[in-house]
Amino acid sequence: MENDAKTTPLYQNLDTTFVNIWSLLRSLTERGFTGRVRVDLPDYSADVFMNGSGTPMVREIDRAAGTDVLEEGALHRLVLRARETPGTITVFEGAHEAQPSKAVAKESTADQAVSGYPGVPPASKRREAETESQQAGRLRTQDDATKEAVDVAEEENTIVAEDRRPAPQPSLQPDSFQIPGQSNVLTEDLYPTGSYNDWPSILAASGELIAAVERAVNAAGENFGNLFNRVRLQLADDYSFLDPMSRAFDYTNGVASLNVELAVNVYASGLSEALRRSVDRVAVGDRARRVRERVALEILAVARKQSQVLERSGFQSQLDRIAGTRVM
């Protein structure tokens, strides 16, 4: 599949044996790249559509299995395949390349054009066959899916601060905090005696804390969402849950969610550092003092409301660092 035969690739025929696809995608995301990354392997191809922010959509075509999938979840499968099978990577730049809908439409047009030729079944029949194969291919056990996610985490050298903890497990409900198979008895290694682990309260308080910084940053004329995602990418090597592409942590409109098992102190340290760096990017020049005072004022309201949770989870001691001035 190609969006436009006349498009000149930014990079062409990069060998997956030498180019790490995960590192390449993270680097492009950090740069705010807009375009498409094409990966070609034997009997398999994938197009990663990148719009400059957020988790990219992936169109994955497995010719051996007869599947054609367009979803965010295909990214990890692509990384695993590219690691195990030699192939090529081509990068196309431009907003027109970052639109999956147009790419799918062009593929459908080509599909209709070849229907009716000898030996080529009608498009509708082939779509039905693809749907059946796709459904069969998705009947993998949860253990298989978990193993793939763990393999990717190990391959990409996940965070140093978490290397003594069990590998993260993917959640079946990414929009809510739920740890599959979590025991009611928390281990001493993960949550030492006396630590605070009321995650619903921690996530609610941290969501309000992020929202406070968001209001201050946006009031200064900056785009907090884009800025926060760039900072998260920079910290991903030290705090893997912050990597936007991992989908382990999410923040939207004052609501924070987490779908991996994580030590509270790691969560508080990583998120506080991300907020501190976000404020530092905005508080520069003549407006530095004004921005920091606005951040401190916004945080103060949250600190008064959520004082107990912030104190017990470790966020309270980080508030002055985040604002760059005294909050209370």
pLDDT in tens, the chain (328 residues): 444 445 678 888 898 888 888 778 878 887 888 899 999 999 899 999 988 766 778 898 989 888 888 887 677 778 777 877 889 999 998 888 888 865 554 444 444 444 444 444 444 444 444 445 444 444 444 445 444 444 444 444 433 333 444 444 444 333 333 333 333 333 344 434 335 678 899 999 999 999 999 999 999 999 999 999 999 998 988 899 998 888 899 999 999 999 988 889 899 999 999 999 999 999 999 999 999 999 999 999 999 999 999 988 999 999 999 999 888 6
Radius of gyration of the chain, Cα coordinates, nearest whole angstrom: 23
* Contact status, residue 81 vs residue 64, Cβ threshold 8 Å: no
pLDDT at 118: 41
pLDDT at 95: 87
pLDDT tens sequence across 7-50: 678 888 898 888 888 778 878 887 888 899 999 999 899 999 98
Q: What is the largest CA-CA distance in the chain?
A: 78
pLDDT tens sequence across 178-223: 333 333 333 344 434 335 678 899 999 999 999 999 999 999 999 9
User: Residue 79: which residues within 8 A CB-CB, separation 6 or more?
Assistant: 21, 22, 152, 155
* Contact status, residue 154 vs residue 79, Cβ threshold 8 Å: no
What is the value of pTM for the model shown? 0.49
Other Cβ atoms closer than 10 A to 172 = 11
Token pair, residue 87, equals 């192939």
